[in-house]
Chains A and B, each alone.
Chain A
């Protein structure tokens, strides 16, 4: 399964494509289960890049764990949570608050 991720142009914050927009957390990201859905996400990403909404657009591997979407690779897990050494920073901190 794949999800679409990028960084928002204005502040550089990591975002994931979910429900027609760019969400600040990965949990509810739109999942692509097949090639057609991947192509569709890719097209959305290309358009958002061209429209100067986001930068560094990527389709990444994801899985569903306990009903929420999680990236597979460590790099993407860290992007989705924040630095592992600073639980007080990044998405993990916002979630805890």
Chain B
């Protein structure tokens, strides 16, 4: 278990991490997700001891580690560029951490062999890092980190240097290995797909401030604010005002005049300014002529303005008037629309997510 208490880091006047509290449970894989420069790597490096917090405490298994030097923290760290020692063989690379742990020589050989088997690269002991591909090097880096049985595994964008097609394979490998070993893992990434697919918990960070902590489904379906909704997935944002609330059903008068019904539990007041978030994938599109409105949905009418074919899916951009445009991703269950087609798009009420907007001052 890793705990952050009031952790803060600034470089001169620049604040990299605002005061942060965060608990990471034992055995969990937790992703720090955010755009580059948001402070996620700094947070990770403070756990490793490669950066010193300006303020606050970090605990690993209830032991405060602020003053423990890097080499005594028993952590495994994976770097974006593998960081295998180029002048050492694969065997010496993997055995490196064991040398400083008083492991007898005979045992080292066995442990290195087993670690290489775990990353499915047995028998490469005598090669040099430069003789391996990028994906293989990252696996060796993984073997080097897990062979020391670390308390926490730290991964700093481990997949971003790999080719697109290798990335998915490697991601599943890391995921599997983490579950088999049950090692607490902190995974830093800016790639939402990595975060959504492998995390027990996602921590979304922006400009050094945690925006939301939650499991992938919650973070994706119930984003805490505009940033989270925008950063994960493709979202449509429409502004409006709450007209009425009946239990979980909230009527929202959009700025375009349209009355939208959203199912969203919460204390919504009539007159409150809100922003409605609708995921582009949650829409269903029909030719207007064929469309029969169902119960429990909202529907819009508009004209296909633009589309892009992505193979598995199609992106449509639909002009619904009032200078509003909807981004709709269709998985092609229905037909393929042409630019200029007049369509109806519907979305279930429960897929309309509300965000409270700060009240603006009325212009004088």
Do A and B originate from a single complex? no
